[in-house]
Copies of this chain bind each other. A is one copy, B any other.
Amino acid sequence: VGVSDKLANAGKGFLDTQKTMGFKGKLYAINPKSKIEGFDTYPSLRDIPGPVDHVIIAVPASAVPSVIEDCVRKGVRSAAIFTSGFREWNTEEGQAVEDQIARMARKRGIRLLGPNCMGFFCPETGLGFRSDMPATKGGKISLISQSGGIFNSLGFMANEKGTPLAKAVSYGNECDLGPAELLLYLAEDPATEVICLYIEGTRDGNALRDALSFAVSRKPVLVLKGGRSTSGSRAVQSHTGSLSGSSQTWESLCRQSGAVLVEDLEEMMDTARLLLLAPRPKNRNTVLMSISGGFSVLFTDILANADFAVPELSPEAQQDLYKIIHYPGTSIRKPLDLAQSFFYIKKFPLLFKRLGEEDDMGIYIMVLVMEYLTLDGEGGAKIGMLILNALIQAFKKVDKTLVVVFPESTESEARLGMIKHITESGYPVFDSMKRCAIALNNVIQDYEVRI
């Protein structure tokens, strides 16, 4: 509702997006004056001949109540209100209209999402809210976001990294449907394996706590809280009009419920990917594999600083490995520095099999700096893919937590392509050891609570 042929009309954008996303149901445009090209157009909701399941509202704030009235009369069960200009504007008028529609939701049996929200994203059923967001199916991470912009970023990021979103909801001002009910839904949704929540504040802290606890009993829940600082919470007021609560409140809420509190989007994405792609770390003993002594040193520090151990391999393992990869520069005693052995791909299966047999080791981290090979043209790119595929095959010999750190350097398309290839082959990749260590700690925290 609120569709016109004007440039950048939001309502038209929503309709077009459902088409792009492959929505199978009927789509109607509501415009009191003119027919919208490509859509069955009616002057009002009540003029639509058949039943209507869901309405997207994109009319000015003052007109929203009457559209909801139409929804109720038409028997519509749910509506998402894109329109902004309510509580978040901090005006009496905005507050009054939001109170009015909230009352309608409670009394008239319709469920409302928003206002000031982007609505639902679900590639399986073809629902979405921006036409350029890839509608990749088969995702396993679901997102509940109070902010539409945060959804956009996480959606693109998740897709680019090879672990797309299953479902997402941008819920804005929470005049009716809020994070608690959405959490309860995703907790039981079979397609969702990890739940991410971006939240700025909520109207019902008790309901949220209970929902978080229930969801955590079913699957990992990662929480990113916007507005922890005083100035951040002022920013929240004008963004979604929420009362954001103190930082301590949110920390204890997460601690009590077992949800993992993260600090930024990158950490959220990294942790979700690790939860999806790797088995539970058996312990904190780490085998660090690299092709650069300097990285071995630096990354050992970062791991130690994050409470992981990088112990020497057992004398037996050192002897066995010496037989397998005794090539120039290779160092076996300390963090494994493959050096030239990195190019003897036929040795990889033996190497990883023997490494995997070290019972005391719980985590295997392969540091890759190899996109430079593509600087050598097609030949180099070919060698790069050969090595990468041999590595991925050999990884399978290790039946424990195995992750890849692929730090930025040339940052070429080559590196991104390699990262996506590794992720799609089932191994999580991180852009830096710092981020890897943070995600590992989050995952261990989650497993300790849930299992």
Which A residues form the contact surface with B (CB < 8 A)?
84, 132, 145-150, 152-153, 156-157, 159-161, 198, 200, 224, 226-232, 234-240, 263-266, 291-298, 300-305, 309-312, 329, 331, 333-335, 337, 369, 372, 375-376, 407-413, 416, 431-434
Contact = CB atoms under 8 A, between A and B. Distances in A.
Contact of A416 (B303, B411, B433): B411
A409 B153 contact: yes
Nearest to A340: B8
B264 A302 contact: yes
A179 to B, nearest CB: 14
8 contacts: A153-B292, A156-B372, A157-B409, A227-B297, A237-B334, A239-B297, A239-B334, A239-B337
A313 to B, nearest CB: 12
A282 to B, nearest CB: 19
B369 A153 contact: yes
A304 B226 contact: no
Contact of A304 (B231, B292, B372, B434): B231
A399 to B, nearest CB: 24
Question: How many copies of this chain does the complex contain?
Answer: 2
Which has the most chain B C-beta neighbours within 10 Å: A84, A226, A434?
A226
Which has the most chain B C-beta neighbours within 10 Å: A300, A305, A311, A331?
A300
A302 B239 contact: no
Contacts of A228: 301, 304-305
A328 to B, nearest CB: 8
B301 A157 contact: no
Contacts of A291: 149
Contacts of A230: 304
A56 B413 CA distance: 34
A300 B229 contact: yes
Contacts of A300: 227, 229, 231-232, 234-235
Contacts of A227: 297, 300-301
Contacts of A433: 264
Contacts of A84: 329
Contact of A235 (B146, B224, B297, B431): B297
Contacts of A150: 292, 294-295, 298
Given A160-B411, A229-B300, A264-B432, A292 B333 contact: no
